[in-house]
Amino acid sequence: MSDWKQDLHKTRYVMDVLLLISFMLVSAPQATGLTGHEWLSVLFIVPFAVHLLLHWDWIKQSAKRFIQHISAKERFSLVWNYLLYVMMLLATVSGFLVSVALLPTLNIELHIQDFWSKIHHDSATLIMPIIGVHLALHWRWIVNLTKRMRMKGAKV
Amino acid sequence: MKYLQYHWKSRTCAVLLISVVISVLLISLELTDWAAQINQQGYSHGGEGGEGNKVPSFLRYILPFVKELVLIGVPMLLTLLFLKISRMLKRSPNR
Ligand code: HEM
Ligand code: HEM
Protein backbone atom coordinates (compact mmCIF):
# COMPACT_ATOMS: atom_id res chain seq x y z
CA MET A 1 0.00 0.00 0.00
CA SER A 2 2.97 2.31 0.42
CA ASP A 3 3.97 2.26 -3.22
CA TRP A 4 1.08 4.22 -4.70
CA LYS A 5 2.93 7.48 -4.27
CA GLN A 6 5.60 6.28 -6.65
CA ASP A 7 3.20 5.70 -9.50
CA LEU A 8 1.41 8.53 -11.26
CA HIS A 9 -1.70 6.50 -12.07
CA LYS A 10 -2.00 5.12 -8.58
CA THR A 11 -1.56 8.59 -7.14
CA ARG A 12 -4.36 9.77 -9.39
CA TYR A 13 -6.51 6.84 -8.34
CA VAL A 14 -6.19 7.56 -4.63
CA MET A 15 -6.81 11.25 -5.19
CA ASP A 16 -9.78 10.57 -7.47
CA VAL A 17 -11.40 8.37 -4.84
CA LEU A 18 -10.95 11.15 -2.28
CA LEU A 19 -12.34 13.62 -4.81
CA LEU A 20 -15.45 11.56 -5.41
CA ILE A 21 -16.08 10.98 -1.72
CA SER A 22 -15.62 14.63 -0.86
CA PHE A 23 -17.82 15.65 -3.76
CA MET A 24 -20.59 13.39 -2.52
CA LEU A 25 -20.33 14.84 0.97
CA VAL A 26 -20.38 18.39 -0.35
CA SER A 27 -23.45 17.64 -2.44
CA ALA A 28 -25.52 16.50 0.52
CA PRO A 29 -26.14 19.64 2.60
CA GLN A 30 -29.29 18.10 4.04
CA ALA A 31 -27.12 15.44 5.66
CA THR A 32 -24.19 17.59 6.74
CA GLY A 33 -26.14 20.66 7.76
CA LEU A 34 -25.59 23.99 6.02
CA THR A 35 -22.66 25.06 8.18
CA GLY A 36 -20.95 21.75 7.55
CA HIS A 37 -21.77 22.08 3.88
CA GLU A 38 -20.14 25.47 3.57
CA TRP A 39 -16.92 24.53 5.36
CA LEU A 40 -16.68 21.23 3.51
CA SER A 41 -17.13 23.06 0.22
CA VAL A 42 -14.20 25.29 0.99
CA LEU A 43 -12.09 22.25 1.88
CA PHE A 44 -13.26 20.60 -1.33
CA ILE A 45 -11.22 23.14 -3.29
CA VAL A 46 -8.12 21.15 -2.27
CA PRO A 47 -8.98 17.77 -3.89
CA PHE A 48 -10.41 19.68 -6.84
CA ALA A 49 -7.15 21.58 -7.37
CA VAL A 50 -5.17 18.37 -6.84
CA HIS A 51 -7.16 16.69 -9.60
CA LEU A 52 -6.23 19.49 -11.96
CA LEU A 53 -2.57 19.49 -10.89
CA LEU A 54 -2.33 15.77 -11.59
CA HIS A 55 -3.56 16.39 -15.14
CA TRP A 56 -1.37 19.40 -15.77
CA ASP A 57 0.06 18.03 -18.99
CA TRP A 58 -3.38 17.18 -20.30
CA ILE A 59 -4.60 20.70 -19.59
CA LYS A 60 -1.56 22.29 -21.19
CA GLN A 61 -2.03 20.28 -24.36
CA SER A 62 -5.79 20.48 -24.48
CA ALA A 63 -6.08 23.68 -26.51
CA LYS A 64 -3.64 22.39 -29.10
CA ARG A 65 -5.30 19.01 -29.26
CA PHE A 66 -8.65 20.56 -29.90
CA ILE A 67 -7.58 21.68 -33.37
CA GLN A 68 -5.75 18.44 -34.09
CA HIS A 69 -7.16 15.22 -35.45
CA ILE A 70 -8.49 13.32 -32.48
CA SER A 71 -11.29 10.83 -32.14
CA ALA A 72 -14.84 12.01 -31.60
CA LYS A 73 -14.78 10.54 -28.13
CA GLU A 74 -11.64 12.43 -27.18
CA ARG A 75 -13.01 15.66 -28.55
CA PHE A 76 -16.22 15.18 -26.62
CA SER A 77 -14.27 14.40 -23.48
CA LEU A 78 -12.22 17.55 -23.94
CA VAL A 79 -15.26 19.80 -24.22
CA TRP A 80 -16.92 17.92 -21.39
CA ASN A 81 -14.00 18.47 -19.03
CA TYR A 82 -14.16 22.19 -19.65
CA LEU A 83 -17.90 22.19 -19.13
CA LEU A 84 -17.40 20.37 -15.85
CA TYR A 85 -14.77 22.87 -14.80
CA VAL A 86 -16.99 25.88 -15.49
CA MET A 87 -19.95 24.25 -13.72
CA MET A 88 -17.78 23.53 -10.70
CA LEU A 89 -16.69 27.17 -10.58
CA LEU A 90 -20.27 28.31 -10.98
CA ALA A 91 -21.46 26.11 -8.11
CA THR A 92 -18.61 27.29 -5.88
CA VAL A 93 -19.04 30.96 -6.68
CA SER A 94 -22.81 30.90 -6.32
CA GLY A 95 -22.33 28.95 -3.09
CA PHE A 96 -20.32 31.81 -1.63
CA LEU A 97 -22.95 34.26 -2.82
CA VAL A 98 -25.73 32.42 -0.95
CA SER A 99 -23.65 31.67 2.13
CA VAL A 100 -25.62 31.81 5.37
CA ALA A 101 -22.92 30.57 7.74
CA LEU A 102 -19.40 31.04 6.44
CA LEU A 103 -19.38 34.60 5.17
CA PRO A 104 -21.50 35.91 8.08
CA THR A 105 -19.00 34.29 10.47
CA LEU A 106 -16.25 36.18 8.68
CA ASN A 107 -18.31 39.35 9.13
CA ILE A 108 -18.97 39.74 5.45
CA GLU A 109 -22.38 41.25 4.76
CA LEU A 110 -24.30 39.69 1.95
CA HIS A 111 -27.59 40.37 0.28
CA ILE A 112 -28.68 37.00 -1.08
CA GLN A 113 -30.28 37.19 -4.47
CA ASP A 114 -32.84 34.66 -5.61
CA PHE A 115 -30.89 34.45 -8.84
CA TRP A 116 -27.86 32.99 -7.10
CA SER A 117 -29.96 30.59 -5.02
CA LYS A 118 -31.42 29.21 -8.21
CA ILE A 119 -28.03 29.08 -9.93
CA HIS A 120 -26.50 27.30 -6.95
CA HIS A 121 -29.24 24.72 -6.86
CA ASP A 122 -29.28 24.20 -10.63
CA SER A 123 -25.53 24.09 -11.18
CA ALA A 124 -24.98 21.76 -8.22
CA THR A 125 -27.66 19.43 -9.53
CA LEU A 126 -26.33 19.54 -13.10
CA ILE A 127 -22.82 18.65 -11.98
CA MET A 128 -23.95 15.20 -10.90
CA PRO A 129 -24.91 13.88 -14.36
CA ILE A 130 -21.90 15.69 -15.82
CA ILE A 131 -19.66 13.77 -13.43
CA GLY A 132 -21.47 10.55 -14.31
CA VAL A 133 -20.57 11.00 -17.95
CA HIS A 134 -17.04 12.12 -17.01
CA LEU A 135 -16.56 8.86 -15.12
CA ALA A 136 -18.01 6.77 -17.96
CA LEU A 137 -15.54 8.33 -20.39
CA HIS A 138 -12.71 7.04 -18.22
CA TRP A 139 -14.30 3.71 -17.47
CA ARG A 140 -11.54 1.51 -18.84
CA TRP A 141 -8.94 3.37 -16.80
CA ILE A 142 -11.07 3.03 -13.66
CA VAL A 143 -11.50 -0.73 -14.15
CA ASN A 144 -7.81 -1.28 -14.92
CA LEU A 145 -6.60 0.75 -12.00
CA THR A 146 -9.04 -0.88 -9.62
CA LYS A 147 -7.57 -4.23 -10.60
CA ARG A 148 -4.02 -2.95 -10.22
CA MET A 149 -4.71 -1.41 -6.83
CA ARG A 150 -6.09 -4.70 -5.59
CA MET A 151 -3.04 -6.70 -6.55
CA LYS A 152 -1.34 -6.59 -3.19
CA GLY A 153 2.37 -6.08 -3.20
CA ALA A 154 2.53 -6.10 -6.96
CA LYS A 155 5.36 -4.11 -8.46
CA VAL A 156 4.22 -0.84 -9.95
CA MET B 1 3.40 12.50 -3.49
CA LYS B 2 6.26 13.28 -5.80
CA TYR B 3 3.86 13.89 -8.67
CA LEU B 4 1.85 16.28 -6.60
CA GLN B 5 4.84 18.19 -5.37
CA TYR B 6 6.25 18.75 -8.82
CA HIS B 7 6.14 22.54 -9.40
CA TRP B 8 3.11 22.59 -7.18
CA LYS B 9 3.41 26.18 -5.99
CA SER B 10 3.50 27.83 -9.37
CA ARG B 11 0.89 25.48 -10.76
CA THR B 12 -1.50 25.92 -7.86
CA CYS B 13 -1.15 29.66 -8.22
CA ALA B 14 -1.91 29.41 -11.92
CA VAL B 15 -4.95 27.20 -11.40
CA LEU B 16 -6.31 29.42 -8.63
CA LEU B 17 -5.66 32.62 -10.54
CA ILE B 18 -7.40 31.42 -13.68
CA SER B 19 -10.28 30.08 -11.62
CA VAL B 20 -10.70 33.36 -9.80
CA VAL B 21 -10.70 35.32 -13.05
CA ILE B 22 -13.37 33.06 -14.56
CA SER B 23 -15.33 33.22 -11.31
CA VAL B 24 -15.38 37.01 -11.46
CA LEU B 25 -16.66 36.77 -15.01
CA LEU B 26 -19.34 34.37 -13.80
CA ILE B 27 -20.36 36.79 -11.04
CA SER B 28 -21.02 39.39 -13.69
CA LEU B 29 -23.93 37.20 -14.79
CA GLU B 30 -25.82 38.94 -12.03
CA LEU B 31 -25.91 42.06 -14.21
CA THR B 32 -27.80 40.35 -17.00
CA ASP B 33 -31.52 40.66 -17.76
CA TRP B 34 -31.77 36.95 -17.11
CA ALA B 35 -30.70 37.48 -13.50
CA ALA B 36 -33.01 40.44 -13.09
CA GLN B 37 -35.88 38.35 -14.36
CA ILE B 38 -35.22 35.50 -11.93
CA ASN B 39 -34.83 37.91 -9.05
CA GLN B 40 -38.15 39.45 -9.95
CA GLN B 41 -39.96 36.14 -10.19
CA GLY B 42 -38.49 35.04 -6.90
CA TYR B 43 -37.21 31.57 -6.20
CA SER B 44 -37.94 29.14 -3.46
CA HIS B 45 -37.77 25.43 -3.11
CA GLY B 46 -38.87 22.80 -0.63
CA GLY B 47 -37.22 22.11 2.66
CA GLU B 48 -37.56 25.50 4.35
CA GLY B 49 -38.74 24.88 7.88
CA GLY B 50 -39.32 21.26 7.12
CA GLU B 51 -41.91 20.75 9.87
CA GLY B 52 -44.56 19.59 7.46
CA ASN B 53 -42.83 16.57 6.01
CA LYS B 54 -43.16 13.33 7.85
CA VAL B 55 -40.08 11.44 6.74
CA PRO B 56 -38.21 9.64 9.49
CA SER B 57 -35.15 11.63 10.44
CA PHE B 58 -32.60 8.95 9.58
CA LEU B 59 -33.67 9.27 5.95
CA ARG B 60 -32.19 12.78 5.94
CA TYR B 61 -28.80 11.11 6.03
CA ILE B 62 -29.58 8.56 3.37
CA LEU B 63 -31.84 10.16 0.78
CA PRO B 64 -29.37 12.85 -0.36
CA PHE B 65 -26.84 10.14 -1.16
CA VAL B 66 -29.43 8.00 -2.92
CA LYS B 67 -30.27 11.02 -5.03
CA GLU B 68 -26.59 11.54 -5.86
CA LEU B 69 -26.05 7.90 -6.73
CA VAL B 70 -28.98 8.02 -9.11
CA LEU B 71 -28.06 11.36 -10.67
CA ILE B 72 -24.45 10.28 -11.16
CA GLY B 73 -25.04 6.59 -11.82
CA VAL B 74 -27.82 6.68 -14.39
CA PRO B 75 -26.06 9.07 -16.81
CA MET B 76 -22.89 7.03 -16.29
CA LEU B 77 -24.62 3.76 -17.19
CA LEU B 78 -26.35 5.37 -20.18
CA THR B 79 -23.02 6.67 -21.47
CA LEU B 80 -21.41 3.26 -21.02
CA LEU B 81 -24.27 1.67 -22.91
CA PHE B 82 -23.97 4.22 -25.70
CA LEU B 83 -20.21 3.68 -25.96
CA LYS B 84 -20.70 -0.06 -26.09
CA ILE B 85 -23.33 0.13 -28.83
CA SER B 86 -21.30 2.54 -30.93
CA ARG B 87 -18.29 0.25 -30.63
CA MET B 88 -20.40 -2.72 -31.72
CA LEU B 89 -21.75 -0.82 -34.71
CA LYS B 90 -18.27 0.19 -35.76
CA ARG B 91 -17.11 -3.40 -35.65
CA SER B 92 -20.02 -4.98 -37.47
CA PRO B 93 -18.88 -5.75 -41.05
CA ASN B 94 -22.00 -5.03 -43.07
CA ARG B 95 -22.10 -1.31 -42.43
C1 HEM C 1 -16.04 14.47 -8.31
C2 HEM C 1 -15.44 14.93 -9.32
C3 HEM C 1 -14.52 14.15 -10.26
C4 HEM C 1 -14.16 12.82 -10.28
C5 HEM C 1 -14.59 11.71 -9.36
C6 HEM C 1 -13.24 12.66 -11.40
C7 HEM C 1 -12.66 11.48 -11.79
C8 HEM C 1 -11.80 11.33 -12.84
C9 HEM C 1 -11.22 10.10 -13.28
C10 HEM C 1 -11.48 8.75 -12.64
C11 HEM C 1 -10.41 10.38 -14.32
C12 HEM C 1 -9.59 9.38 -15.14
C13 HEM C 1 -8.42 8.94 -14.41
C14 HEM C 1 -7.33 9.92 -14.24
O15 HEM C 1 -6.57 10.12 -15.19
O16 HEM C 1 -7.22 10.49 -13.12
C17 HEM C 1 -10.44 11.79 -14.56
C18 HEM C 1 -9.75 12.44 -15.55
C19 HEM C 1 -9.79 13.80 -15.78
N20 HEM C 1 -10.60 14.71 -15.12
FE21 HEM C 1 -11.84 14.29 -13.59
N22 HEM C 1 -13.08 13.88 -12.01
C23 HEM C 1 -13.83 14.81 -11.35
C24 HEM C 1 -13.93 16.15 -11.60
C25 HEM C 1 -13.23 16.82 -12.58
C26 HEM C 1 -13.33 18.21 -12.80
C27 HEM C 1 -14.18 19.20 -12.01
C28 HEM C 1 -12.53 18.52 -13.82
C29 HEM C 1 -12.39 19.92 -14.35
C30 HEM C 1 -11.76 20.30 -15.34
C31 HEM C 1 -11.87 17.29 -14.25
C32 HEM C 1 -10.94 17.15 -15.26
C33 HEM C 1 -10.33 15.97 -15.63
C34 HEM C 1 -9.31 15.85 -16.65
C35 HEM C 1 -8.72 17.02 -17.45
C36 HEM C 1 -8.98 14.50 -16.75
C37 HEM C 1 -7.98 13.86 -17.71
C38 HEM C 1 -8.74 13.73 -18.96
C39 HEM C 1 -8.20 12.75 -19.93
O40 HEM C 1 -7.13 12.13 -19.70
O41 HEM C 1 -8.89 12.60 -20.96
N42 HEM C 1 -12.35 16.26 -13.47
N43 HEM C 1 -11.30 12.34 -13.65
C1 HEM D 1 -18.58 22.53 -5.52
C2 HEM D 1 -19.16 23.24 -4.67
C3 HEM D 1 -20.58 23.07 -4.16
C4 HEM D 1 -21.54 22.12 -4.44
C5 HEM D 1 -21.44 20.94 -5.38
C6 HEM D 1 -22.71 22.48 -3.66
C7 HEM D 1 -23.90 21.78 -3.65
C8 HEM D 1 -25.05 22.18 -3.01
C9 HEM D 1 -26.31 21.51 -3.06
C10 HEM D 1 -26.58 20.22 -3.84
C11 HEM D 1 -27.20 22.21 -2.32
C12 HEM D 1 -28.66 21.89 -2.10
C13 HEM D 1 -29.39 22.84 -3.00
C14 HEM D 1 -30.83 22.73 -2.96
O15 HEM D 1 -31.37 21.64 -2.78
O16 HEM D 1 -31.42 23.80 -3.17
C17 HEM D 1 -26.51 23.34 -1.76
C18 HEM D 1 -27.08 24.32 -0.95
C19 HEM D 1 -26.38 25.34 -0.36
N20 HEM D 1 -25.03 25.61 -0.50
FE21 HEM D 1 -23.76 24.62 -1.71
N22 HEM D 1 -22.44 23.60 -2.91
C23 HEM D 1 -21.13 23.98 -3.19
C24 HEM D 1 -20.46 25.06 -2.64
C25 HEM D 1 -20.96 25.93 -1.69
C26 HEM D 1 -20.22 26.96 -1.02
C27 HEM D 1 -18.75 27.27 -1.28
C28 HEM D 1 -21.08 27.59 -0.17
C29 HEM D 1 -20.83 28.75 0.77
C30 HEM D 1 -19.72 29.13 1.27
C31 HEM D 1 -22.37 26.95 -0.28
C32 HEM D 1 -23.51 27.32 0.42
C33 HEM D 1 -24.73 26.72 0.27
C34 HEM D 1 -25.94 27.19 0.92
C35 HEM D 1 -26.06 28.39 1.86
C36 HEM D 1 -26.97 26.32 0.51
C37 HEM D 1 -28.45 26.40 0.92
C38 HEM D 1 -29.09 27.38 0.01
C39 HEM D 1 -30.36 26.93 -0.55
O40 HEM D 1 -30.89 25.89 -0.13
O41 HEM D 1 -30.81 27.62 -1.46
N42 HEM D 1 -22.25 25.93 -1.21
N43 HEM D 1 -25.19 23.31 -2.21
Tens digits of residue pLDDT in B76-91: 999 999 999 999 998 8
| CA–CA gap between residue A120 and residue A110 (Å, rounded) | 15
For residues B61 and B37, membership in a common domain is answered with no
Residues B37 and B63 grouped into a single domain: no
Nearest to A93 among B7, B23, B68 (CB): B23
- A118 contacts in chain B (CB < 8 Å): 38, 43
Is residue B46 situated within a structural domain? Answer: no
Which residues in chain B have Cβ-Cβ distances shorter than 8 Å to A54?
Answer: 3-4
User: Do B3 and B35 have their domain in common?
Assistant: yes
Contact B65, A128 (CB under 8 A): no
Give the domain range for residue B20. 1-41
Nearest to A90, CA basis, from A54, A47, A126, A53: A126
Q: Residue B65: inside a domain, yes or no?
A: yes
What's chain A's average pLDDT? 92
Kindly identify the ligand whose nearest atom is closest to the C-alpha of A115. 2
Average pLDDT of the residues in B64-72: 96
- pLDDT at residue A38 greater than cutoff 70: yes
Count of structural domains within chain B = 2
Q: CB A26: neighbour CB atoms within 10 A?
A: 25
**Would B11 be classed as within a structural domain?**
yes
Give the nearest partner residue to A30 out of B19, B60, B76, using CB atoms. B60
Residue B72, class by beta-carbon neighbours within 10 Å (0-12 exposed, 13-18 middle, 19+ buried)? buried
CA nearest neighbour of B30 among A87, A112, A27:
A112
Instruction: Compute, in angstroms, the gap from residue A96 CA to the centroid of ligand 1.
Output: 24
B37 with B60, same domain: the answer is no
pLDDT over threshold 80, residue B6: no
Same domain, B36 and B62: no
pLDDT score for B64: 93
Q: Is residue B48 part of a domain?
A: no
Direct distance between the N- and C-terminal alpha carbons of chain B, in angstroms, rounded to an integer: 49
- For position A156, what pLDDT does the model report? 47
pLDDT at B95: 53
